Amino acid sequence: MGNADEDGASGARPRIGDIIDDGQAGRVGIVCAQRLGLVFAAASAATVLVPAIEQPSRYLATLVGLLVMLVGFALLTSRAAWWAATGTYLAGLATLASLASFPVYDFTAVATVTAVSSFVIPSLLLAIPDSRMLVRAALPAAVPVTVTAVVASLGSGRAVFVAIAILGGWVACTCAGIWVHRTERQAVVGVEQLRRAYAAERRSVEAEAELRHEARTMHDTVLATLTLIAHGGRGVPAETLRAQASADRDLLRQLRTSGSTVSNPRQPAPPPVMEGAEDPTDPARPAEDAGDLPRWASLARRHQALGLSVAWHGVPQLDDSASHLSELAAAVSECLENVRRHSGQHEAEVTLSQDDDRTRAVVTDLGCGFVPEQVPAGRLGLAESVRARLDAVHGTARIFSSPGRGTTVLLEVPRR
């Protein structure tokens, strides 16, 4: 009873599972005592209520005692739990004493004495917060109840049966209280183990997500630049290579100092346009090209500088405030990089569209094509930079390709 609810009796009645989950398992016994006591006291009051309607003066004191007990059990989770329990116990003794005025056999009186002494009052034992204290308190508390109940039922000739019922009720409540306390301890240990396991799993998932993010970042930037250099930078101006190498150097410095690129993602400056190439942000360009949205204009400029001619469709009709467009743009960029490096073509088409739920991008080329199922598992381009990137935002990536027939990649992300 010392682990009373510090929030008072007001508000929603707590569930036992919520109490254990909140780390307050010591309150479980109080809640069990309260609910058992309320049920038993209400049942006893219902037993007295019907005859009390016909003879109100005869059962008035008993009804008052049961009412006080109901109030005591209702207040058992308040800050005055000890006072509520003590008052309920004394009200139970007073109720039993009021029934001693029935000198002859009375079924209602005997039933009420039995219920109050063997069920209602012993329910308070579950509220004692320690098993040893519970056992020590059970006997001293049971003696006055047993004596009063036996005296109250002497006139009916059922005193022996009442005493047996009292013994059974108090033993049952004592055992139930011990079981509740042991279960409380086991529940606390189990919940703590679950919390530690959940925290470890969350750290593992976060670490894996961080590693995958860094792998995608390295693949899309540093490794792409190194690949260009390894092939002699054919078709790419030296100024573009220098700009990309400078941005990659900044990325490596950030990874070395902060160990992460998530909180401050790298935003490299767009590579310069190749000499004589048409500026994709030029307002004189057709409406189906990259348009004047910075996200797509930068992407168009980057790949044109790398020697890939991209025809853009649907950009002006796109809502650039929709969610997850950064992930979609990064996936489109990786698809265009794959076109440049693997398709054998220098031309591609990107078609963007939206509906109420999703934003879509279709990347198409007429290159050599491939069999998607035969892509090695260790290749990061499609696995991480496209599929895993979109999976992280509940998007999808579908690839349609066959040797000699080109490739079409359908990318989708949620709009909200």
Q: Half-sphere exposure of residue 263, counting CA atoms within 13 Å on the CB side?
A: 6
Q: CA angle at residue 265 from 263 to 270, to 5 degrees?
A: 160
Residue 362 confidence (pLDDT): 94
Higher-pLDDT residue of 21 and 9 is: 21
Mean pLDDT to the nearest integer, 227-245: 59
Look at the pTM and tell me if it is higher than 0.85. Answer: no
pLDDT (tens digit per residue) in 132-163: 888 888 999 999 999 999 988 887 788 899 99
Residue 332 confidence (pLDDT): 92
Residue 79 confidence (pLDDT): 65
Q: 373: which DSSP letter? A: G
Mean pLDDT of the chain, nearest integer: 77
Structure tokens at 325: 């467009």
Nearest alpha carbon to residue 120 among 156, 96, 155:
96
Mean pLDDT to the nearest integer, 204-220: 69
* H runs (alpha helix) in 259-324: 294-305
Nearest alpha carbon to residue 350 among 342, 358, 361:
361
Is residue 230 very low, low, confident or very high in pLDDT (cuts 50, 70, 90)?
Answer: low
Which of 27-36, 162-171, 288-297 has the lowest average pLDDT?
Answer: 288-297
pLDDT (tens digit per residue) in 263-276: 333 343 343 333 33
pLDDT (tens digit per residue) in 349-394: 999 999 889 999 999 999 999 988 888 766 666 777 788 888 889 9
Higher-pLDDT residue of 103 and 310 is: 310
Mean pLDDT to the nearest integer, 385-413: 90
E strands, 181-277, are: none
The CA-atom distances, in angstroms, between 268 and each of 222, 297, 299, 333, 385 are 12, 14, 11, 14, 17
Nearest alpha carbon to residue 219 among 32, 3, 46, 386:
386
List Cβ neighbours of 224 (8 Å cut-off, separation of 6 or more): 244, 337
Distance CA 151, CA 400 (A): 91
Is residue 20 very low, low, confident or very high in pLDDT (cuts 50, 70, 90)?
Answer: very low
The percentage of residues in the chain with a pLDDT greater than 90, rounded to a whole number, is 27
Structure tokens at 117: 């002494």
Nearest alpha carbon to residue 8 among 82, 78, 81:
78
Domains of the chain as residue ranges with CATH: 16-197 (no CATH), 291-416 (3.30.565.10)
Q: How many residues does the chain have?
A: 416
Structure tokens at 69: 């007990």
- Name the range with the highest mean pLDDT among 160-169, 237-246, 334-343: 160-169
Helix axes 81-98, 131-153, angle to 10 degrees: 20
Mean pLDDT to the nearest integer, 181-207: 84
Q: Half-sphere exposure of residue 163, counting CA atoms within 13 Å on the CB side?
A: 10
Q: 322: which DSSP letter? A: S
pLDDT > 70? residue 399: yes
pLDDT > 80? residue 220: no
Distance CA 83, CA 239 (A): 84
Burial 306-315 (b: 16+ CB within 10 A, else e): bebebebbbb
Q: What is the dihedral of CA 122, 126, 129, 131, to 10 degrees?
A: 80
E strands, 113-218, are: none
Which of 178-187, 355-364, 401-410 has the lowest average pLDDT?
Answer: 178-187
Nearest alpha carbon to residue 73 among 114, 122, 119, 124:
124
β-strand partners of 361: 352, 411
- Using an 8 Å Cβ cutoff, are 333 and 216 in contact? no
pLDDT (tens digit per residue) in 74-83: 988 756 678 8
Higher-pLDDT residue of 231 and 370 is: 370
Is residue 58 very low, low, confident or very high in pLDDT (cuts 50, 70, 90)?
Answer: confident
Q: What is the dihedral of CA 186, 192, 193, 194, to 10 degrees?
A: 110
Structure tokens at 61: 């004191």
- Using an 8 Å Cβ cutoff, are 218 and 266 in contact? no
The SS3 assignment for 412 reads strand
Is residue 302 very low, low, confident or very high in pLDDT (cuts 50, 70, 90)?
Answer: confident
- Using an 8 Å Cβ cutoff, are 157 and 204 in contact? no
Transcribe 39-95 into DSSP letters: HHHHHHHHHHHHHHHHSHHHHHHHHHHHHHHHHHHHTTTSTTHHHHHHHHHHHHHHH
Residue 258 confidence (pLDDT): 57
